[in-house]
Structure 1
Amino acid sequence: MIDDAEAVFFDIGGVVLDLASVRKGHRRFVTELATEYDLDEERALGTWRAVLGEYFRERRGTEFRSAAAGYDRAIEAAVGSPVPEEEWRPIFERATEECLQPVDGARETIEALSGAVYLGLISDIDTREAERVLGEFGLIEYFDEMTTSEEVGRTKPDPAVFATAIGNAGVDPDRSVMVGDRYHNDMRGGSWAGLRTVAFGGSAATGPESETDGPGADTEGSEAETGTGTDGTTDNDEGKAGASRDPDGVVDYRIAGLCDLLEIVGLDGTS
C-alpha cells in the first residue's frame, strides 16, 4: 500500500477503454464504409488493417502520429480515392459509439477514487478521440487533467509525456501511480518518471516478450491483451516467474481487476 497516495494516472486503451470493443467498432465502421462505397467488406478490412499498421510502424522513435491521419490513409486505400474527413468521421463516430465499452470495473473504481486522490490520464490516443470516448462513458468529469501524446508531441514512454502530466498535477511521483497495460510504454515509462507502476493486463502483466502492441495500440488494440495478475503483489515476492515477466524491475504491482487499485492507494476501508 502507498501511504498518503496523491494521484492515480490511467492509460486509456486497455485500462479504461475495452480494446475488444475498439476492434469491434472499427470493423463496424469498415462494414459501413464498404456498404457506402460498394466495396468487398473483407478486402476493405484487410486493407484498413494493413495500411493503418504500416502507418504507425513508420513512426520515428516516440514522435506522435495522429490516428485520424492514419484513418485518412487507410480509407483512401480501401476506397481507391480520397474521402474528406467531414464525410468519413460521422460514419466512424456513429459506428464506434455503438460498440465502445469501458473496461469492467472502470466506472466504479474511478468514482471511488474521485475526490480522494488526483485523477489523471496519460494516453497516446488523439485528444479529440479521448475526449469523445470518455464523454460517452460519462467519465471525463471525474478526471482532473488529461495528458495526451498529441498535446506533448511525443508518445509514451518518452519522459516528456510523463513530466508534463506530473508537472500539471503538482504531485510527488513517489506517492502516485501509473496504471497501464503495456510494459514498455506504461511500466518502463512510468517507472523512469518516478511513479509507482500498476500492471493491469496486456504485456504490462505478462512481460515484454508478449508485447505485440506497437504504436497506435491505444486505439487499435492488440490481440495479446489477455494478461492477468496477482492482487497487490510486488515482483520481489514472485521469484523467477516475476523476473521473467519484469526483467527491468519496473512493475511495482499487478492487479487482476481495477477495483484492486483501492487497496494499493489505501481506499479499500481496511487501513
Structure 2
Amino acid sequence: MAPGGRMARWQRLKALIFDLDGTLYDDPELLAEYPRQAVAFVAERLRLPLDAARERYAGEAQRLRQATGQSPSTTRVLLALTGARLDEWAGFLADRVDPSRFLDPADYQWLRELLSRLRDHYLLAIVSNNNRVLAERILRRLGIRHLFDVILTTTESGRIKPDPSLYLEVADALGVRPEACLAIGDRLAVDIIPARRAGLQAVLVRTPQDLRRLGAELLAVAEERQAELRPG
C-alpha cells in the first residue's frame, strides 16, 4: 500500500505495538546469539555433541519451514525439538546472554528520540518472544524502557508469537480496540500475519531506515490530526 493510503488508514490509531528483537534493535551479533544458544541448549537437553545438536536444530527448523511455509522463530524450533518449557529456555538464555556486550547506547540515540516523539501522540507497547529478564536488559541498555506503557514477554504470557491472542492481550491492557493499534515487526509470519489475524493493522520493517521512515509517517499523521482539532 502506498504511504498516502496507509496514512489515511492511520488517522484513528491510538497505540503502536512493537516487536523487540530485530525491530527496535538490529545488532547482527546479538541476534545471532539466540540461535547459537539454542543449539547449546539442545546439546545439553538431548545430551548431544554440539555438531550433532546443530544438525538436529537445522533439521527441525527445515521441517517447520516446510510444514508452515514460513521461517519459524528460534524459540519455536527449540521447543518443538526438545519439549522444554519456556521458563527453562528463558533461564538458560538469561544466564548466558549479556546485551551490554553487543549494544552501544550511542548507536540508538535516534531511536530514543523517535520513540519519545511518538509517545507524545500514541501509547507504546511491546510484544516479544524474548523473556522478561533479557527484554528488560535490552530495553534499559537502549535507554527506552521508560517509554513503554505495556511490555508482554514469554515470562508473563507463557506463549509465543505467532499466537494472535498476544496482540489482543496487549491491546486490552492498553485499553484500546485492536483496530486502533498498529503492530510493527520485522518478521512476516511471526509478527505481521498474527497481528492482522487479531484485527490490528500491521507494518513490516526490515531495517532501521524502514523504522525511521515509518516513524516519520506516524508523526505526520499525528500532527495532521492535531491541526484538524485546532480552532479555525
Shorter-chain TM-score tier: 0.5 to 0.7
Equivalent residues of 1:25, 1:100 under 8 A apart: no
Q: How does 1:160-199 map to 2 (within 5 A)?
A: 160-199=165-204
Call closer, same or farther: CA 1:106–1:124 in 2, change over 3 Å.
Answer: same
Show the counterpart of 2:119: 114
Q: How does 1:205-216 map to 2 (within 5 A)?
A: none
What stretches of structure 1 of length at least 5 have no aligned partner? 30-42, 73-84, 202-225, 229-254
Show the counterpart of 1:59: 79
TM-score normalised to the size of structure 2?
A: 0.65
Residue 258 (str. 1) matches residue 201 (str. 2): no
TM-score normalised to the size of structure 1?
A: 0.57
Residue 97 (str. 1) matches residue 100 (str. 2): yes
Deviation at 1:160, TM superposition (A): 2.3
Number of aligned residue pairs = 188
RMSD of Structure 2 on Structure 1 (CA): 3.8
Show the counterpart of 1:80: none
- What percent of counterpart residues are identical? 24
Residue 135 (str. 1) matches residue 167 (str. 2): no
Residue 124 of structure 2 aligns to a residue whose secondary structure is strand
Show the counterpart of 1:217: none
Deviation at 1:182, TM superposition (A): 0.8
Show the counterpart of 2:28: 20
Residue 182 of structure 2 aligns to a residue whose secondary structure is strand
Deviation at 1:257, TM superposition (A): 3.3
Deviation at 1:70, TM superposition (A): 7.1
Alpha-carbon distance between aligned partners in 1 of 2:53 and 2:100, rounded to the nearest angstrom: 19
Alpha-carbon distance between aligned partners in 2 of 1:129 and 1:177, rounded to the nearest angstrom: 24
What stretches of structure 2 of length at least 5 have no aligned partner? 1-6, 38-48, 61-74, 228-232
Call closer, same or farther: CA 1:26–1:264 in 2, change over 3 Å.
Answer: closer
Alpha-carbon distance between aligned partners in 1 of 2:25 and 2:88, rounded to the nearest angstrom: 18
More helix by share: 2
Higher relative contact order (CA 8 A, sep 6+): 2
Alpha-carbon distance between aligned partners in 2 of 1:48 and 1:268, rounded to the nearest angstrom: 52
Residue 8 (str. 1) matches residue 26 (str. 2): no
Call closer, same or farther: CA 1:26–1:179 in 2, change over 3 Å.
Answer: closer
Which residue identity does 2:171 align to in structure 1? I
Alpha-carbon distance between aligned partners in 1 of 2:164 and 2:36, rounded to the nearest angstrom: 36
Equivalent residues of 2:21, 2:31 under 8 A apart: no
User: Once the two structures are superposed, what CA deviation does each residue of 1:146-189 show, in whole Å capped at 9, x if it has no partner?
Assistant: 01133111111213211211110111222220000111111111
Which residue identity does 2:77 align to in structure 1? R
User: Once the two structures are superposed, what CA deviation does each residue of 1:218-249 show, in whole Å capped at 9, x if it has no partner?
Assistant: xxxxxxxx7x9xxxxxxxxxxxxxxxxxxxxx
User: Once the two structures are superposed, what CA deviation does each residue of 1:50-85 show, in whole Å capped at 9, x if it has no partner?
Assistant: 67766752535xx9953863784xxxxxxxxxxxx9
Residue 145 (str. 1) matches residue 147 (str. 2): no
Show the counterpart of 2:70: none
